[in-house]
Structure 1
């Protein structure tokens, strides 16, 4: 049931991405027609054409972006029902890769914390067996909570990137390092988030880096 829901959300996101591309083409075509009308002295009709197409396209674009954002956030929270990674759609696989990337940043911090705790345990004279067990239990209990919190955080960062890409002119460069710096995350996490945004169709990778679509 969960897999069907993910597939449905992914299909909807793809359809909305195609809709946004079609709206961009309609706006471009309307601009060409309006320029032809102006060249023939029909300024009022040209303006009327541009305004009508732009208003309709803006409304549909806003709705499509909202659906994409909501769908991507829902997919990010569907974790417990994942049975086999090979049977998942490509978009959810990206989120699993994102979780792996985050673990590469979390694990060193947990190791350092464990080392400091071990040093403190040697200060008083106590039984080493009795002190080791509670520490290991705490470490095991806190690790999943930390990973889950970071997944929720990255879903919000992905939403921010999607909104940024949609509010810029297609072809506008979006620098990964600048985004990582502004979001206060590492480049590795930023790369994973950018790949998810590319899967949604809001950005694409070119020879000069990522640009909005």
Structure 2
């Protein structure tokens, strides 16, 4: 890509860089806000940190521009500030990511292990309770058998029916709890932690690389877009104002148009009319009044070279004179 060619998709790339910088700015805000207990001070300093983080990205293209205009000391200071702020921002992003991963693992381990322990204890108690229920059922049957031997068949039947109904309800409740705990244990043991297959060292490298990418990529995009746009504007032909438009072939003097005299103030037809207008203006002004050549050339819609020739002719006639402050009425 040449220096005079703009980066394609400059605006989408700029929007992408700003979006990525918003991620780091939010990370810095959260990190600074978490360090300070006082809410007002935390919000104040976190907001200032966000502004500094945004300045960090703007410092890179600005420092490149400072280098192009020769202000090397200022460019070096801007780069140093950007590097320091990038270190703070990178730490904030890394800390947010790594803390989230560690907290997720710790929470998963704590909840899973504790819950599994509680469920196993509860299952053990339910199994013991189920055994006692079975013992009570056998005891009720034995008592009913004894009562039948004594001839109390009706009471034996009532005893067995009442005991069986009560024990069946208890047995059903215990088995419901055992089934629910069994399903929950199966689910807990089969549920992996987030990034469980990622080792601690590899997770740290991943967070570090992600934080570095968030710092480098937006800075590179903004610097490339800014440098390309600056080069494109420098290489693009600019529209010239009447002050800087050079003499066209139609306004250049030719020997046929030029009738020189000994005084050297004879001008072509169009220039002679402009000279007369300049002389009338000088005659109507007070001595010492300024006659700005650029303003006069702009009003006459001619170039600077042509205006300088007409002003020279007016100086020769004594209508105006040239001083350090410019042309003034004589």
Please give the range of the TM-score, normalised by the shorter of the 2 chains. 0.3 to 0.5
TM-score relative to the length of structure 2: 0.24
Query: Which structure: greater helix fraction?
Result: 1
* Larger Rg over CA atoms: 2
TM-score relative to the length of structure 1: 0.37
